[in-house]
Structure 1
Amino acid sequence: MTQRITWTFLVLTSVLLVLAVVPLAVSLTARERVAYRDNQRAATRVIAAAAEEHLSDNKPPTVLNQELDAAARAGDCASVYDASGRLVAGTPCTAAQGEEAEELVEDVLAGHEPEPPENEGRLLAAEPAGEVRRPAGAVVLARSADPLDARIAAIWGWSAALGVAGLAASMLLSVRLARWVSRPLSTLDASARHLGEGALDERAEVEAGPPEVRRLAATFNTMAARTEALVHGHRAVIADVSHQLRTPLAALRLRLDVLAAGAEPDTAVELAAAQEEITRLSRMVDGLLAVARAEQATPRPAAVRVDEVVTERVAAWSPVAEEHGVRLTAVPEGPALSVALGAGHLEQILDNLIANAVEAAESGGSITLGHGTVRGRARVFVRDDGPGMTDKAKAVAFRRFGNPEARGTGLGLAIVHRLVTVNGGTARLEDTPGGGLTVVLDLPLWAEDGHAQGGT
């Protein structure tokens, strides 16, 4: 594609330059020739006027000689002929004499306007001394054609330089344009190939290229996210199993409560341990059910005010954070903005992230929520100063039960990842400077036309 666009631009530019620059150079050349000839004829007429005073009025040749000396100093050659065609005066240079000069004199004395020829690199011009029909003589002036040739060469040189500069600019522009268009398409093609080869987490870059290519990349990312969810979700099985397990778990807990009420102390301790395991299993089943619901979600995007949701969630979780000795604050890093998310998704995302952060943070620690815009996307982050995660744990943290270091069910980040990706966003984990973990979410902005910018 790059070569096709480049060659198309070059051919088009070459045609335009030929149609514009060549006629312009031809026109300037013709004007330069005419101007040079007119200047030469004007100089010839000046000498002819002085020659008329000498030939017709029999005045001394003083003025004529002065004009001939001036012509010689200017590098011209001039010769003055009387009415019979006899040479009567001239400059030391003899270029204005000879057969061609004599032919011009005959034409001028006959009342004709001759066609000036070129003699040994000099242009000849002839003018009558006196009236055209009854001239008292004729003047022939020979001037070097080198200045004219130099000006014409300069015209064509500048024209050629302009053409080369135009071609170079066209090549540079076409290459940049072709790369601007083709590079994102090549990247998108590679991402599609990797997705087809089984890399379901492959995503295309959406920050480069024309708007149409960026929208195509965003649509591809949405398709890839949904494909990944379809392959890895098993959402129907998980939802059914989780829902069916809740009822027998509740019945088992009731039976254990009844047994513990009348059991011996030693037996009661064992039953209490069993109840704790039942409680943990219930939380796990609830988490699996939440994951299944998140995987089943196909949201209809709506405008969600990030600053309002962040403020609400901080207010709702502050009492819980205070019970754990943790300070929860919101620090916006930009103006108020709206993102394109499914209804209630941002609240659920922040609830899971804050719950994980509160559980991970130690007493006296802090949790910070912030938001802003980065490269046309909304950025939301939740930062804590807890123990953080190892690189191995971060690599699998978004998978169900993937993090062996998780204190809870290990499903919170899986729910977050699912809700973020299904809405066309991305989520990643970073180390907090000084210790801790930061969850960074890049979400599509809500556009004026009711669609997501760079998202779904």
Structure 2
Amino acid sequence: MTRRITWTLLVLTSVLLVLAVVPLAVSLTARERVAYRDSQRAATRVIAAAAEEHLSDNKPPTAMRQELGAAARAGDCAAVYDTSGRVVASTSCTAAQGEEAEELVKDVLAGHEPEPPENEGRLVAAEPAGEVRRPAGAVVLARSAGPLDARIAAIWGWSAAIGVAGLAASALLSVRLARWVSRPLSTLDVSARRLGEGALDERADVGAGPPEVRRLAATFNTMAARMEALVHGHRAVIADVSHQLRTPLAALRLRLDVLAAEAGGDTAAEFAAAQEEIARLSRLVDGLLAVARAEQAAPRPTAVRVDEVVAERAAAWSPVAEERDVRLTVVSEGPALTVALGAGHLEQVLDNLIANAVDAVPEGGSITLDRGRAGDAVRVFVRDDGPGMTDEAKAVAFRRFGNPQARGAGLGLAIVHRLVTVNGGTARLEDTPGGGLTVVLDLPLWREGGPEPAGRGDLYRF
């Protein structure tokens, strides 16, 4: 943002300076040329007035020669011509004589006003001596254009200096303005990112930047404070539920165990059924707590090697699969891929998916874990050849208790969906070719320069 604001202001200032300074310099140059020409013509008329007294009134040429001497001392070349075009008097230099001067004299003696030419750094002017229609002669004065060129160069030099100074001042002010605007926004962006990563005590600076940015930072702080209060309240509720429900359930299970040990016949069977329901209720409570923890998770992405985690979880679940006569295999082909996930999240996702697949697949069935590259994501597959799901069941499977046909608490896929989506990935269900269910996970690819890998978190399986 700082660069965009700076370049925008610099371009705007440059355009304004060009539109203001260049026309001004052109105008000053034109005025300087006119003033220089007027000065040259005035000097020529002075000599012409003195020459008229000599040519028409037959007075001594003293005044005329004095004016020619003054012109010579000023660095000009001048020559006085009579009505026949003959040089009557001149300065020591001959720049006011020659073919060009003779052409000007002819125009003047004919009663015309000649266009003064500019050749080889000289400005030549011609004026009649006496009346314009009946001149007694003509005066030609040649003046060097060097002083005029120096003044014009000075005008453009000062104009360029003013433009550069204005551009430098604009660059300095634009950089300061851009930083004044962008730094609070950058700080606010960092605070928002840290808040999204789980730093609930993060607050933005409200004392810098424009009033609009300060109000935005204050609004962000209010939102962050309310979010922190809500999350802490949610965590407190989870802790209370965990304590208030697990303790009486454990006590009830112990009492049923004692009563079941002393009972016999139909009573023992009833106690066994009650114990099974208590165990199911305990799993349900643990599942709800796990979903709640997953929903309030705000992970900080870490580098996770997919092939290593897949191999590790497959090895951990192999004894369970062998006990139920289920073949658990891992497709090990392909390059090593790294994803950006919260610490321990991929393990939790795979544990839930493998646990669901092991429960669903009949004896002699198989479960296959695979992964591959899909654009900017890493795609992980968990395939089984179990009974699969209907389209209606797949549409609601990621919701809490969405699948009424689930054998367990029906919360495993809800936890998987929450952990995958909170990390910026997607999860979907497909039919396995030949029968069964395939869970497809698209996980964000790890980029170089990201956060350092962190340790793994707690695992929850339901």
TM-score, structure 1 length as denominator?
A: 0.51
Q: Please name the residue that 2:26 is paired with.
A: 26
The aligned residue for residue 9 of structure 1 is 9
CA–CA distance in 1 between the matches of 2:195 and 2:240?
A: 29
The separation in 2 between residues aligned to 1:119 and 1:232, in whole angstroms, is 90
Q: Distance in 2 between matches of 1:203 and 1:240?
A: 28
Q: Distance in 1 between matches of 2:239 and 2:216?
A: 33
Please state whether the residue corresponding to 1:202 is helix, strand or coil.
coil
Corresponding letter in the other structure for 2:209? G
Residue 82 of structure 1 is matched in structure 2 by: 82
Pairwise CA distance, 1:165 = 1.4
Partners of 2:138 and 2:112 lie apart in 1 by 12
Amino acid at match of 2:96: A
Q: Which residue in the other structure is 2:37 paired with?
A: 37
In the other structure, the counterpart of 1:183 is: 183
Alignment partner, residue 61 of structure 1 = 61
Match of 1:35, SS state, is helix
1:90-169 correspondence to structure 2 within 5 Å: 90-169=90-169
Provide the secondary structure at the position in 2 that maps to 1:19: helix
CA distance in 2, matches of 1:238, 1:40: 100
- What one-letter code is carried by the residue in structure 2 that aligns with 1:52? E
Q: C-alpha deviations, 1:353-390, integer Å up to 9, x for none?
A: xxxxxxxxxxxxxxxxxxxxxxxxxxxxxxxxxxxxxx
The corresponding residue for 2:437 is none
Deviation at 1:236, TM superposition (A): 7.0
Give the structure with higher Rg (CA): 2
1:425-454 deviations in whole A, cap 9, x for unaligned? xxxxxxxxxxxxxxxxxxxxxxxxxxxxxx
After the TM superposition, which residues 432-443 of structure 1 pair with which residues of structure 2 at under 5 Å, given as runs?
none
The answer to whether the 8 Å contact 1:95/1:119 transfers is no
Classify the secondary structure of the residue corresponding to 2:140.
strand
Is the aligned partner of 1:46 residue 2:62? no
- Residue in 1 that maps onto 2:454: none
Unaligned runs of 5+ in 1: 245-456
Cα distance in 2, alignment partners of residues 75 and 49 from structure 1: 20
Aligned AA (2:97): Q
TM superposition shift of 1:160: 1.0
SS in 1 for 2:81: strand
Q: Is the 8 A contact 1:54 1:61 kept in 2?
A: yes
Q: Distance in 1 between matches of 2:98 and 2:237?
A: 113
Task: Structure 2: state its 5+ residue gaps.
Answer: 245-462
- CA shift at 1:120, angstroms? 2.6
**Residue type of the partner of 1:207?**
G
TM superposition shift of 1:240? 8.9
Paired residues, what number?
Answer: 242
SS at match of 2:227: helix
| Separation in structure 2 between the aligned mates of residue 46 and residue 118 of structure 1, nearest angstrom | 21
Distance in 2 (alpha carbons) for counterparts of 1:65 and 1:212:
80
Offset at 1:239?
A: 12
Matched residue SS, 1:115: coil
Identity %: 91
Task: Tell me which residue corresponds to 2:207.
Answer: 207
SS at match of 1:143: strand
Separation in structure 2 between the aligned mates of residue 3 and residue 239 of structure 1, nearest angstrom? 49
SS of the residue corresponding to residue 191 of structure 1 reads: helix
* AA matched with 2:120: E
- Whole-angstrom CA distance in 2 between matches of 1:39 and 1:122: 14
For residues 186-220 of structure 1, the C-alpha deviation after alignment (integer angstroms, 9 at most, x for no partner) is: 00000111111111111111110001111111111
Residues 45-444 of structure 1: pairs in structure 2 closer than 5 A: 45-234=45-234, 237=237
* Contact preservation (8 Å) 1:71, 1:78: yes
Aligned in 2, Cα 1:134/1:41: closer, same or farther, shift over 3 Å? same
Taking the aligned partners of 2:208 and 2:73, their CA distance within structure 1 comes to 69
- How far is the alpha carbon of 1:175 from its aligned partner? 1.1
Alpha-carbon distance in 2 for matches of 1:153, 1:129: 35
Deviations 1:302-335 (A, max 9, x none): xxxxxxxxxxxxxxxxxxxxxxxxxxxxxxxxxx
Give distance in 1, aligned partners of 2:237 and 2:86: 122
Instruction: Give the letter aligned to residue 212 of structure 1.
Output: E
TM-score normalised according to structure 2 size: 0.51
Worse overlay, 38-47 or 1-10 = 1-10
2: distance between equivalents of 1:120 and 1:95? 11
- 1:255 corresponds in structure 2 to none
